[in-house]
């Protein structure tokens, strides 16, 4: 649990940290969208080069990212395995019943792996370099035109802010519960699949109870401080675009042009 870095914020003063949160949010969504346009090894190399430049600009060690992605590697490998064994076309390297490994299957599996890694790196970089409060302010600012359609933009931003804020808290609480149950003889890593699933049930119940307790305490604290939504409230953090945000936008345009040139 302590190796999962998605949802955590690392204070810093790098160029990426200083970007407007709206710029980082839009750039992250845009990058995730154009990842699916890559269809050659050269185009994926361009995307990886862009991600490495972002990570270097954030001054966060690449080893920290790799350790954070490690807990999700089984999900990635499971999805890659589905592509390898169920994609037809090209030369057949191995076949057993309805399972087969083909040339197209291996290529698609490798592409899926690259997409997963790129998306995880970019989304992790977003949360590592952006405070949850700033990210919620960015969402509220970008969705502001929807207020004319009576969409509760402020409430949606508050939900996102609370979710991001309590992801590290719940992970830490999960670690504490697991350590307490290990001290009482519970083993989470041995036995078959059903035995391991059965061992997780005593972990989920106290975690849900603690989550409801945290939510109730938070609601009581908000009521005690007179929270009544976003109507008429001023902003302590005023968002404003700067020259570095326009440079970041131009960099995404250059990355898109290189991607289009390297596509098949």
* C-alpha span between 188 and 116 (Å, rounded): 27
Would you give the distance in Å from CA 111 to the centre of its chain? 19
* C-alpha span between 112 and 103 (Å, rounded): 14
Cβ atoms of 153 and 144 within 8 Å: the answer is yes
Provide the whole-model pTM: 0.76
What are the boundaries of each domain within the chain?
1-130+237-264, 152-233
* C-alpha span between 73 and 116 (Å, rounded): 10
Q: What are the tens digits of pLDDT across the range 198-229?
A: 767 777 888 888 888 888 888 899 889 887 76
| Residue 34, CB-side half-sphere exposure with 13 Å CA sphere | 24
Asked whether residue 46 carries a pLDDT value surpassing 90, the answer given is: yes
The torsion region of residue 7 among left (phi > 0), alpha (psi -120 to 50) and beta comes to left
Cβ atoms of 11 and 75 within 8 Å: the answer is no
Neighbouring CB atoms inside 10 A of 109's CB total: 20
The residue behind tokens 């999960």 is 174
* C-alpha span between 31 and 216 (Å, rounded): 37
36-67 burial: b if 16+ Cβ within 10 Å, else e: eebeeeebbebbeebbeebbebbebeeeebee
Q: What are the tens digits of pLDDT across the range 86-143?
A: 777 777 777 777 777 887 888 888 888 999 889 988 988 888 888 877 888 888 888 8
């Amino acid at each position: 649990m302590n190796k999962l870095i998605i949802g955590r914020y690392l204070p810093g003063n790098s160029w990426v940290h200083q970007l407007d949160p709206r710029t980082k949010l839009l750039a992250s969504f845009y990058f995730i969208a154009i990842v699916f346009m890559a269809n050659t090894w050269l185009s994926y190399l361009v995307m990886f080069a862009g991600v490495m430049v972002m990570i270097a600009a954030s001054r966060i060690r690449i080893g920290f990212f790799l350790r954070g992605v490690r807990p999700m590697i089984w999900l990635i490998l499971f999805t890659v395995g589905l592509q390898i064994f169920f994609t037809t076309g090209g030369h057949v390297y191995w076949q057993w019943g309805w399972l087969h490994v083909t040339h197209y299957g291996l290529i698609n599996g490798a592409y899926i792996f690259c997409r997963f890694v790129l998306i995880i790196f970019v989304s992790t970089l977003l949360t590592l370099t952006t405070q949850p409060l700033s990210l919620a302010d960015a969402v509220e600012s970008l969705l502001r035109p929807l207020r004319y359609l009576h969409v509760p933009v402020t409430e949606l931003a508050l939900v996102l802010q609370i979710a991001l804020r309590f992801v590290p808290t719940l992970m830490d609480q999960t670690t504490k519960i697991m350590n307490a149950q290990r001290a009482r003889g519970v083993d989470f890593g041995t036995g078959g699949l059903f035995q391991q699933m059965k061992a997780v049930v005593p972990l989920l119940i106290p975690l849900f109870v603690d989550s409801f307790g945290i939510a109730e305490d938070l609601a009581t604290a908000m009521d005690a401080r007179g929270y009544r939504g976003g109507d008429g409230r001023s902003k302590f953090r005023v968002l404003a675009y700067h020259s570095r945000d326009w440079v970041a936008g131009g960099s995404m345009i250059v990355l898109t042009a290189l991607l289009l040139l390297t596509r098949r």
